[in-house]
Each structure stands twice: as structure tokens, then as C-alpha cells.
Amino acid sequence: MSAAAVTATDAAVTKMKTADQLTEYYEMRLVELMAVRFVLKNPDTASFTMKTNKGTTDVQLLDQSEIERSIRITTTRGKRQFYATFLYNKENNRLTKRIEHQ
């Protein structure tokens, strides 16, 4: 009987941890999208920093060529950092690729 209770408790704790991790992941993606949306609306903007209730997001804009720009996003939340890079085509004002870093 107690082994079943421990197993059920373990399963519940695992589900809660997974839910927390997924929530954190999608919250970071939303912050990323806010930064990307700002860049798309302001294509000639320089690198910038955003502060939200989820942490600090640093956005670095690097021109790879006359046509392509790299948007590197680093979000710091507590002691954890989340990284992603978007490739942006300046001619047609579109994102061409997203690269997630570990």
C-alpha cells in the first residue's frame, strides 16, 4: 500500500516539475517573440536590452551581409540564461531561421 502511495506521489511531483519547466520554456519564448516583434517593427534599430518580470533580455543585432542580419537574444532569469539566434532578411523583412543554443 505504501509503495503505491510513494509511486503515485513520485508521478505527481514529476508532472509538476515537467509543467514548471514547460511554463518556463514558453515564457522565455514569449519574451523572445516580444524582442523579435520590436526588431521587425523597427528594422534599423540598434542592439538593446528589455527588462520584464521574467528577467533581462539582451538583444544583439549583427549584420552578416548587406541582406542578412543576425538577431542574438539572451534572456537571463535568475541564474539561468536562455539563448536563441534569429536570421533576418532585411530585403523582404522576414525571419529566415531560428537557432536555439544550450
CATH 3.40.50 fits 2-101, yes or no: no
Judge whether residue 1 has pLDDT over 60.
Answer: no
Please give the Cα distance from 59 to 50 (Å, whole number).
8
DSSP 20-54: HHHHHHHHHHHHHHHHHHHHHHSTT---EEEEETT
pTM above 0.85, yes or no: no
Q: Where are the domains of the chain?
A: 2-101
pLDDT in tens, 57-101: 999 999 878 889 999 999 998 888 889 999 999 888 889 999 988
Q: What radius of gyration do the chain's Cα atoms show?
A: 19
pLDDT in tens, 8-24: 667 666 778 888 888 88
Instruction: State which H helix or E strand residue 92 sits in.
Output: none
- What is the model's pLDDT at position 93? 84
pLDDT in tens, 17-56: 888 888 888 888 888 899 999 988 887 888 999 998 888 9
